[in-house]
Amino acid sequence: MANSTTTTRRQPHQLLALVIGVVYLLVGIAGFFVTGIDGFVEHDHDQTLLVFAINPLHNIVHIVIGLAGVILWSTPERARVYGWLLAIGYGAATIYGFIVLNNDDLNFLNINMADNWLHLVSTIAGLIIALWPRRDTRTTTGRR
């Protein structure tokens, strides 16, 4: 009589999605301790978390991105969706950030140069998650 058990291992791109999600969620929450809830779209580079400029709207974006990672990391396919969200979303944020960097009227997310570089790194991380090679993660163990 054969007794076999099938288990699924988490893939590296799933764990990367979870880590990025948790970090963005924590950064979004911590950002409110710096900005409070006033000046929702204020452009004030004196409001920074570490070296990154933030405002309440920017904090909310971080929380949403973080929650998406925490929710979507659980399967390889869902993690890939999160990777594409990061790649496309932060790719657009990077372009937007470089365009509005010196335009206080259009910079409603209070983006500074440090944000632009972080957004570029997040875009690359999203591509890594989305394009991670597919593998069969099922392993079968059993006795005969």
For the chain, how many helices (H) and strands (E)?
4, 4
pTM: 0.85
The DSSP output letter for 10 is P
Q: Stretch 10-29: mean pLDDT, rounded?
A: 97
Q: What is the pLDDT of residue 3?
A: 52
What is the spatial distance between Cα 37 and Cα 27, in angstroms, rounded to a whole number? Answer: 15
* Residue 9: how many other CB atoms lie within 10 Å: 9
Q: Which of 19-23, 24-28, 42-46, 126-130 comes out lowest in average pLDDT? A: 42-46
* Residue 73: how many other CB atoms lie within 10 Å: 23
pLDDT value at 5 more than 80: no
Q: What is the pLDDT of residue 19?
A: 98
* Residue 108: how many other CB atoms lie within 10 Å: 16
Tokens standing for residue 46: 């004196």
pLDDT value at 141 more than 80: no
pLDDT value at 60 more than 70: yes
